[in-house]
A and B are shown apart, each in its own frame.
Chain A
């Protein structure tokens, strides 16, 4: 096949893959009569922001976005500190029990979330932590902690140990090495891991759906999943505007760190 043939095929794949995202944005900007018309308008020729206005003025939007932000920030802050310490141990030391710890970290990441909802729900109910943000933060740690250890370990492996050893020879203490050498070198890795942890927590649905009942306590994703409700006249424009708003922070952050994180899950198998 000629090059132009492959190019045409590549463009066709591009159109099919990107279309849903395009359709979300296109719908979000179109006036209602264009949305419900039986012959669709492909581009919003007369764009309107009314759906976005309607979406953010819907009850609990800002409250639930705030909840998401609180949950995500607390989860990520605690997890990154704990995970960084553990990552240093795994990347820099050989010790008895190290392998067991690695198996634990990788194994936990494979647990299906659905399999954990019942024990988490019941255990949290014992301490009256269902329907609280604290409870959700605890459940989010189950996946953010192991993921962060593994990702940070990957970044640490890339920093030559000789730098630390040289500083030690020059008379720095372990703590001094940690603060003056390791931390600055790890800054990009810490940022990338935090951002990715932010994304996975922001996108999480099932734990938040199970634990949070009050509309004012839900997260942005749960709010979005209830957007349609049971009304007969579906507000597609509003739904797509709300979807766009929920996706925007994630898309921006994802584009920033994708290159650094993308291979965490297959690290070592792909050398590149």
Chain B
């Protein structure tokens, strides 16, 4: 009897231990990555907050310590008219880029449904090729194509009598940022088009047909049937594009170039780079970074919430 009792107790204990182990498994699985993220991101973010409250320049970087100056960095940034101009410029720039990307992307996706199969395959392959281009490479191609001396863009426009030869595309701020926009939209289109085209396949053909038979013009079909079905995808693509374009760095930095980057053509990221890193005023740069991260966090709410809901699913 005692033996049976002991065995049962043992069973009970091992079961309990196993249950404990089962319950703790997911924590063991995420522990390494949480530790890694804490190290590579959490620790720097702690420094970001600290730096923003300190006077931290090159001298302090070498000494590894800077004096605490409270909110002075934030005050300095928020009283800087360059910051406000840059913010306004970035908001307009983002709006233009996102609108262009989504509208043109939508048009090309709709076009893909109208063309013959061979054109569709050709165009889709071309888009994937463009999609695969590294941003740094794309920027070099743009520099070459828009070069004022013998760039192909000037040649073609001159042949079409649209522009004089040797036009300098980087002479004015507006023109510089327009070139950046072209580069960004060109690079972003493949992802948007292919995603929207996949979404269009979800639109029930019978519905469109029925509407056409009833005499609805194509634009009514688009706005009343297609668009509502695409709404969730468009929402995600738009919020992703806003987040990306607001924080874009490589394209403006490489295309406009270090030499020509100046307060008149700053975007948030290039402003941050010049003020914080290039001038080695890390404290002030940290304050700008935090302001920028907070803005992006607010912009991300829609996207993150949507994706988290998708992530709720467990198989």
Contacts and interface: CB of A to CB of B under 8 A. Distances in A.
Interface of A: 1, 3, 6-7, 9-11, 13-14, 17-18, 20-21, 23-24, 27, 35-40, 78, 82-83, 85-86, 88-95, 97-99, 101-108, 110-123, 125-126, 138-139, 141-142, 145-146, 149-150, 153, 156-161, 174, 199, 202-203, 205-206, 210, 221, 224-225, 227-228, 234, 236, 239-240, 242-243, 246-247, 250-251, 254-255, 258, 262-263, 265-272
A18 B129 contact: yes
- Residue among B133, B136, B147 facing the most chain A CB atoms (10 A cut-off): B136
Contacts of A18: 126, 129-130
Nearest to A26: B152
A4 B167 CA distance: 36
B47 A141 contact: no
A202 B134 contact: yes
Given A85-B33, A115-B292, A269-B232, 7 more contacts: A90-B311, A114-B268, A115-B272, A159-B315, A246-B134, A247-B132, A271-B202
Contact of A40 (B45, B152, B289): B152
Interface in B286-315: 286, 289, 292-293, 296-297, 300, 303-304, 306-308, 310-315
Interface string B188-205: 011100110011011000
Contacts of A146: 37
Contact of B30 (A40, A86, A158, A269): A86
- Residue among B41, B116, B247 facing the most chain A CB atoms (10 A cut-off): B41
A150 B308 CA distance: 11
Contacts of B53: none
A90 B136 CA distance: 34
A164 B41 CA distance: 35
A239 B29 contact: no
A111 B40 CA distance: 14
Contact of B133 (A1, A114, A118, A251): A251
Given A38-B150, A119-B45, A258 B155 contact: no
Contact of B140 (A116, A240, A251): A240
Contacts of B179: none
A82 B39 CA distance: 13
A272 B202 CA distance: 8
B123 interface: yes
A20 B138 contact: yes
Given A7-B116, A20-B142, A108 B314 contact: no
Contact of B300 (A9, A110, A145): A110
A118 B48 contact: yes
B130 A10 contact: no
Nearest to A104: B37
Interface stretch (B8-16, B169-177, B233-241): B233-241
Contacts of A90: 30, 311
A93 B286 contact: no
B26 A93 contact: yes
B138 A156 contact: no
B167 to A, nearest CB: 14
